[in-house]
Amino acid sequence: MGKMVWVLMLALGCADVAAAACSPACDLNGDGLRATVQDYAVFLGAFGTKQGDAKFVAAADLDGNRSVTVADFGLLNKFCPLGGDEK
Ligand SMILES: [Ca+2]
Ligand SMILES: [Ca+2]
């Protein structure tokens, strides 16, 4: 795990990616379920946008650089594998 990722985790208050405290990072649509198809849909809807754009979603900007890029998708895919809270 890279240093930047740990900085990100600390910024999110996450010592453990599985901890409840981390859920906001994976719950993009705010329904309380992490990493579901709906969360990925929100991410994809915001993909390619930057802060200020109508479709920008702050929760989809996982690395906090104010734009939603493939780097954010990499983080989403790594820390919020699809189907997280889905039953
Ligand atoms: Ca959700
Ligand atoms: Ca970003």
Give tens-digit pLDDT for 1-19: 566 665 555 555 554 544 4
The residues, ordered by sequence, that sit 6+ positions from 69 with a Cβ below 8 Å of its Cβ are 47, 48
Could you tell me the pTM of the whole model?
Answer: 0.72
Task: Tell me the H-state helices in the chain.
Answer: 3-11, 23-26, 37-46, 70-79
CA 50 – ligand 2 centroid, Å = 8
CA 7 – ligand 2 centroid, Å = 14
Alpha carbons 3 and 20: distance in angstroms, whole number:
22
DSSP state at residue 62? T
pLDDT of 14-42, one tens digit each? 545 444 445 457 899 999 899 999 999 99
Q: Tally Cβ neighbours within 10 Å of residue 28.
A: 26
CA 86 – ligand 2 centroid, Å = 25
CA 11 – ligand 1 centroid, Å = 20
CA 28 – ligand 1 centroid, Å = 5
Residue with tokens 């594998």: 81
